[in-house]
Chains A and B, each alone.
Chain A
């Protein structure tokens, strides 16, 4: 009796593992795998959104086109990833020195409900002065995130608060608005600065 129960559990366990492996294969390598082309951020020239920067100026894709761009999604109530990424970005900008002056650097909130223009202004003031903070109506945030193929999701926490899951990669675009590459979270700093230089060099290619 007991042996049969154990065998039953064993079979169920093996079945569960097989199902997990199958689901994993389906989503990563199989027919359910995301379309790689579809995951690539659109060119800024193809995007359409209206937001407000931390100084109250109206901004859109045209604000970025003409200079290389480094952009990142986050929210100011984020205790770990966002301050870390903004400090990393500040460090990369310091490393680049004068070269960094040609870059647009934008921190886009995925939490416009709490991240007002004033909240963004205060928050970005603690980091490198080149960093601009963008917010706007939820629908416009959804449009820019869609253009970048960035994901975000509101997650309730204990006590009635909420946090945001969000794409933590840093996006790089050339001056002509073409997507160049991204810097993943946890990527070592020695890879980040050369990637930014690639986006800076893309400028001359885009101009010719």
Chain B
């Protein structure tokens, strides 16, 4: 846990506020921009993180999962609101991103659902989130934790 906080502090120092560090790892040509999340109340409630994933390569990339020391069950979920105004959430499955395209994880749509938190999400800290792609590629990003009432990465 201490290690996570240390990394978080370091990343916070490096990023100087709301911006996340686009990190590249493995052979995936994908970058993560404007990552942010909301603080949690304790550890019982699931958290959510948002970001834009851009395919900078010439080949399609397919996001298949997430991994983070913060949560035991991180998954890409999608909120849908039907014609009657009822919202529901479900696992989004694989997400293919065409070359040059990007996918936005934003409130009310796709989001990284962080289930089974291992520690509370504290405003001002960050946590590492690894995006897992088909063929074993990975991209890890430090996600800043904003206030519970944050509406976007600039809040």
Contacts and interface: CB of A to CB of B under 8 A. Distances in A.
Interface stretch (A56-64, A133-141, A179-187, A197-205): A179-187
Interface size bucket, B side?
Answer: 20 to 34
Contact of A168 (B81, B113, B115, B147): B81
Contacts of A167: 84-87
A159 B81 CA distance: 24
A158 interface: yes
B81 A185 contact: yes
Given A90-B149, A159-B73, A186-B81, A80 B86 contact: no
A25 interface: no
B150 A87 contact: yes
A155 interface: yes
B86 A151 contact: yes
A80 B148 CA distance: 11
Given A77-B46, A83-B149, A90-B149, A184 B111 contact: no
A147 interface: no
Given A77-B46, A80-B108, A161-B115, A185 B151 contact: no
A45 interface: no
Contacts of A83: 38, 48, 107, 148-149
A185 B48 contact: no
B107 A165 contact: no
Nearest to A74: B87
Given A80-B108, A158-B73, A165 B151 contact: no
Contacts of A146: none
A143 interface: no
A122 interface: yes
B115 A126 contact: no
A126 to B, nearest CB: 4
Nearest to B44: A77
Nearest to A76: B45
Interface string A112-155: 00000000001100110000000000000000000000011001
A86 interface: yes
B127 to A, nearest CB: 15
Contact of A81 (B84, B108, B114): B108
A97 B73 CA distance: 41
A88 B111 contact: no
22 contacts: A76-B41, A77-B44, A79-B113, A79-B114, A80-B77, A80-B79, A80-B108, A80-B111, A81-B87, A81-B107, A81-B108, A83-B48, A83-B107, A83-B149, A88-B151, A163-B89, A165-B87, A167-B84, A167-B87, A168-B85, A169-B85, A185-B108
Q: Which 3 A-B pairs have the closest CB atoms?
A: A79-B48, A84-B107, A165-B88
Given A79-B46, A79-B111, A81-B107, 20 more contacts: A76-B45, A77-B44, A77-B46, A79-B45, A80-B48, A81-B79, A81-B89, A81-B108, A86-B149, A87-B149, A126-B41, A126-B149, A157-B115, A165-B88, A166-B86, A167-B86, A167-B87, A168-B85, A168-B87, A186-B108
